[in-house]
Amino acid sequence: MGNFRLGHGLLRFLEEWGGALSDVIFPRVCQVCGCALVKGEEVLCLDCLLAMPRTNFHKTHFATPVVRMVATAKIDRMACMFFYSRKSGYAAMLKRSKYNGHPEIDLHLGKRFATELLSDNFFEGIDVIAPVPMYRWKKFWRGFNQAEEIARGVSMATGLPVVHNLEAVKPHSTQTRKSATERRSLSVSYFGVYAPEELEGKHLLLVDDIVTTGGTVAACAQALRDAVPSIRVSLLSIAHTTYT
């Protein structure tokens, strides 16, 4: 017992010392305001977390982007963590994760947001999580797909499995505002569904980092419905561009 306590204490000591040491080598700072993070804070400081411009779309079903997305992409429900405005610190945080290679930011945000949504029963009836796929060469050059990292975080919080049945068969532009017909051709040419029988009758949660016009989401949802008519699709994203 004594040995166990000693071992446990030693482990705690090494853990804390190791944590302090890694803070010196990789300083832990808030990705929004740059202040030093205190124990218990991760990625963002408490002030920036509280000041985050929340969309609360999952609580306000009549918000314009929700109505539009339900109509165009025929999704069941959607949740977006915060509003994305180009010059904000929150936008800088997402850009840093994407272009400076910090997938742990996406993973953390996915996990945190999903933990919050659990208490609102957002995941009720959802069977699987699928990240918006990235074309393989783009993923190769970037080293990761941020939507996949967010999906992993959501899975860690909810226990729901991540599936990779949706594939990007060609590189696609995310800045798309297209008609239903154009979207249909976009979905057919850009996204493919692997082993569609695995998704039969499932409610799938599509996960992306930033939703702008919703063109990519609509194209993914269309590709899924074309391959699996019985599927239901919902959406979770970290950010949604501000709208008028």
| Nearest residue (CB) to Zn ion, 30 versus 205 | 30
Closer residue to Zn ion in complex, CB, 33/162: 33
The pattern of x and - marking residues 28 through 47 that bind Zn ion according to CB under 5 A reads --x-xx-----------x--
Strand order in the sheet with 232-241: 78-84, 232-241, 203-211, 128-131
Q: How far is the CB of 219 from Zn ion (least distance, A)?
A: 35
Nearest to Zn ion of 15, 47 (CB atom): 47
* Nearer to Zn ion (CB atom), residue 37 or residue 169: 37
In the three-class reduction of DSSP (H, G, I as helix; E, B as strand; rest coil), residue 191 is classed as strand
In the complex with Zn ion, which residue's Cβ is closer, 89 or 192?
A: 89
207 contributes a contact to Zn ion by CB under 5 A = no
| Shortest spacing between CB 50 and Zn ion, in angstroms | 10
- Note whether 174 and 212 are within 8 A (CB): yes
Q: Is there binding between residue 151 and Zn ion (CB under 5 A)?
A: no
48 binds Zn ion (CB under 5 A): yes
Token pair 């124990």 is found at: 39
Shortest separation between residue 241's beta carbon and Zn ion, angstroms: 22
Closest approach of Zn ion to the CB of residue 90, in Å? 10
Least separation in angstroms between CB 28 and Zn ion = 12
What's the longest Cα–Cα distance across the chain? 72
Using the minimum distance from each CB to Zn ion, give the nearer residue, 33 or 157.
Answer: 33
- The residue type found at 181 is T
Strands 128-131 and 203-211: parallel
CA atoms within 13 A on the CB side of 47: 11
Q: Does 224 bind Zn ion (CB under 5 A)?
A: no
Q: Does 128 bind Zn ion (CB under 5 A)?
A: no
d(CA 194, CA 148): 17
CB 192 within 8 A of CB 149: no
| Separation between Cα atoms, residue 108 and residue 154, nearest integer Å | 9
Q: What is the contact surface with Zn ion in residues (CB under 5 A)?
A: 30, 32-33, 45, 48
